[in-house]
Amino acid sequence: MESIQDPVITNRMHGIIGGVSSLLVFPHKDHYKDDREYPSAVEGKIKLYQVESFSWLWSRQARKLINEAMGTFISLQDAVKEVEPDDYKSVLVKKCREYRSMIQACVEDITMCRECEGDQEELTASGQLLYKMELILSLIEILFIDKKPGGMILGQLLMWIRSHFTQCIEKKNEVMESDHPHQHSAYWEAVYGSVLQGRMEDARHMLSNHPFADTDPFLSIDELLRKMPFYQVYGGVSVAEFTVRWQHWQSECERRLQEGHYSTCHQLQTVCKILCGDQKTINNLIDLMDTWYHLMVSTLLFTCPTVKLFRLHSAAQDAIACVGGEQSTTPLDHVLLAAMEADILQVIKECQQVLDNTWFTAHVTDLLCHTMGQTTDQKFLPELRESLLLDYVSVLVSHCSLWQIGILYLDHLGPSGIAMSQTVLQRLPLTDDSRAHKIIQMASDRNFDSVVVGVCRVMGRRALSQGRLGSAIWWGVRSRDAAFTSHLAHQILQKYVVEGRFESSQLLDDLGPAMLLSDTLTFLGKYREFHMMYQDGNFRDAAVLLVSLISSKLAPEYFWPVLLLDALPLLKSEEPVISAEQTYELMYCLHNLHNHASKRGKQSSLENEATCSAFLEKEIDLRLALSNNLARAIIHEGSVDN
């Protein structure tokens, strides 16, 4: 939220949506129907403010995330369509992991950036937020996407805790690198920490470094640590059998504890108590675990390794109670708790409350939507997915270089996506020709004809206002706007009448069949052809074309004098190229022109007058040439026949 510090705007602020994503805010005065004017006692300049929503998505670090996420999103949509339903899961897990790794990469980027430049506070905050996103996503992967047969989740949860809480590893390394590890102040903490994460090898390694490693208590605990059963999903051991083995093992731990095997070393006693699943002991070590979810997993490891998903949330509640209860929970805790309660909607809602953009929630909901598939009790998911993705896209498209990514997402969002896609494509500023071409390409790929036509019309009109007639015609033709194109063709012809030369002849010559869009344009094209033929010396064909142009009445009237004057050299040529019949046509045309001219009298504009006078001078010449040619042609044709 932002407040605008401006005395002029105080108590008078008014805002209107301007552009795709900004708000225009200015000082305003109310008015009634019969407001009499009176000057307001205004001091200071009247300023208008442009306000936009700021998002972390605009930052440099986010850019890569946005691009990569797009790649994964699109490949996910495609894969889901092509792959057999049985293979969905592996695809979804793969995509989930791609998202996770790109978030992790972003965290690393930020860490590196912190050392160089940038707003430290902002970067740290972003880094933490990303870390938390990955934490949530990896839990979602375990609980919803990568569900193992049998519903045994502890193994995965243990991996989850291990990868996100690495203090025990760090401590262990620190301890083991010191000269006398067993004397290091963090030695036993490192041991406890490793045990709590089920890292028995690490614990045993550290313990073997102890000078008393060969004594009974140490050997005994080593054996217990070595023999602890861990459930393997595809290990070939049934749950029942594993449970028996595990209980047998824990009974052994209890027996040894009771028999005082570790009475000489209270730290080893603590270790053994952990192995026995002694809640009090485990709770006391909360400082090594930091969070309730670590506590929960560690507790389950030693109390109920065969825990199933549906029991998870009560275990979570217990753990939360140990760390201070509901009042000390953070929003992150709420998200994780909601996930453990398998309440997808709540997970998304909690995330939405604290993230300033929908990048995360949109992609996660999309992933979950495909995961849930046809399950009927999650009916809200497709709608939620669409809504979040549309939100995400509307942020993207307001950015000058991210709009293309937005359009690509919209292809997968149903009718609303298509509508937004068209709206966005139409509203993109047409800064230059290449931009326009890109937009047209994207629009025609999606069969948005109206967008293509719209863009072409705007470009055509712009070219016209800049005096680039040839370019304007090219756009006009593409926009299939007959009226506009005719108008332009007329402009070109009129210019020719005045200036005697063609502008942008190259563009006109390349028109091809497009010239048929309007009669005037067709005439223009054909007239150009006539010029080409004449220049090539192809007089006979040129003559035929010229006469057909005259007789077909395609030519606008103001152009007839030009055509007739063009005919003059042909009439006077050495060899007769204009036949008798054609000469009659020309004469008829001249006759009409003369009549029209005399009817119009003094109405013509200056330009026409200039042409008229030029024409009148030539008229006599023309009439003479016509008569001569007629005579010549009749004779020629007569002799040929004979």
Partner 1 sequence: MVSVISNVETGHDDMIHDAQMDYFGTRLATCSSDRSVRIFEVKGTSQTLIADLREHEGPVWQVAWAHPMYGNILASCSYDRKVIIWQEDGHKWKKVHEYANHDSSVNSLCWAPHEHGLILACASADGSFSVLTSTAHTWESKKITSAHSVGCNAVSWAPAVAPGSADGTSRSGTAVQRIVTGGCDSYVKIWKFDSATGEWIEELKLEGHSDWVRDVAWAPSIGLPRSIIASCSQDRRVIIWTNDGVTGVWQPRELNTFDDVIWHVSWSVTGNILAVSGGDNKVSLWKESLEGQWVCLSDSAKGQPSSEQRTL
Residue list 118-177, contact with partner 1 (CB under 8 A): 125, 128-129, 132
Q: Give the nearest distance from C-beta 479 to partner 1 in angstroms.
A: 8
211, 325, 373, 429: residue in contact with partner 1 (rule CB under 8 A): 429
- Min. distance of Cβ 321 from partner 1 in angstroms? 21
DSSP state of 30: -
Strand pairing category for 22-27 and 13-18: antiparallel
Nearer Cβ to partner 1 (238/416): 416
- Nearest residue (CB) to partner 1, 4 versus 93: 4
CB of 359 to partner 1, least distance (A): 14
| 180-188, 259-267, 312-320, 381-389 -> range binding partner 1 (CB under 8 A) | 381-389
Q: Which is nearer to partner 1, 10 or 173 (CB)?
A: 10
Q: Is 353 in the site for partner 1 (CB under 8 A)?
A: yes
Q: Is the dihedral of CA 560, 562, 564, 567 positive or negative?
A: negative
99 within 8 A of 137, measured Cβ to Cβ: yes
Give the one residue of 217, 229, 277, 454 binding partner 1; rule: CB under 8 A: 454
Nearer to partner 1, 354 or 631 (CB): 354
Site for partner 1 in 50-79 (CB under 8 A): 50-55
571-577 own/partner pairs: CB under 8 Å, 24+ apart: 571/622, 571/625, 571/626, 571/628, 571/629, 572/625, 572/628, 572/629, 573/539, 575/539, 576/629, 576/632, 576/633, 576/636, 577/539, 577/540, 577/542, 577/543
Q: Residue 18 interacts with partner 1 (CB under 8 A)?
A: yes
Q: Are 531 and 563 within 8 A, CB to CB?
A: no
Binders in 581-620 for partner 1, by CB under 8 A: none
Instruction: Show contacts with partner 1 in window 22-51 (CB under 8 A).
Output: 22-31, 33, 35, 37, 39-40, 42, 45-51
Q: Binding to partner 1 by residue 272, rule CB under 8 A?
A: no
Could you say which residues in the range 285-344 bind partner 1, by CB under 8 A? 330-332, 335
Residue 493 beta carbon to partner 1: minimum distance, rounded to whole angstroms? 19
Interaction residues for partner 1, span 391-410 (CB under 8 A):
394
Residue closer to partner 1 (CB basis): 154 or 439: 439
Total Cβ atoms within 10 A of residue 149 = 7
- Nearer to partner 1 among residue 19 and residue 151 (C-beta): 19
Of 193, 394, 364, the residue nearest 295 (C-alpha) = 193
User: What is the residue whose two structure tokens read 């035929």?
Assistant: 544
- What are the residues facing 308 on neighbouring strands? 152
Least gap, CB of 461 to partner 1 (angstroms): 5
Element (DSSP H or E) covering residue 558: none
Cβ contacts of 478 within 8 Å, gap of 6 or more:
440, 452, 456, 514
One of 219, 419, 624, 631 touching partner 1 (CB under 8 A) = 419
Residues contacting 228, CB < 8 A, separation 6+: 198, 200, 249, 275
Is residue 420 within 8 A of residue 398, CB to CB? The reply is no
* One-letter amino acid of 85: P
Q: Are 136 and 336 in contact (CB under 8 A)?
A: yes
Stretch that binds partner 1, among 349-357, 490-498, 519-527, 576-584 (CB under 8 A): 349-357
Looking at the Cβ atoms of 431 and 642, the one nearer to partner 1 is 431
User: Which of the 8 DSSP states describes residue 516?
Assistant: G
Between residues 134 and 585, which has the closer beta carbon with respect to partner 1?
Answer: 134
The count of residues interacting with partner 1 (CB under 8 A) is 86
- If one asks whether residue 424 binds partner 1 (CB under 8 A), the answer comes out as yes
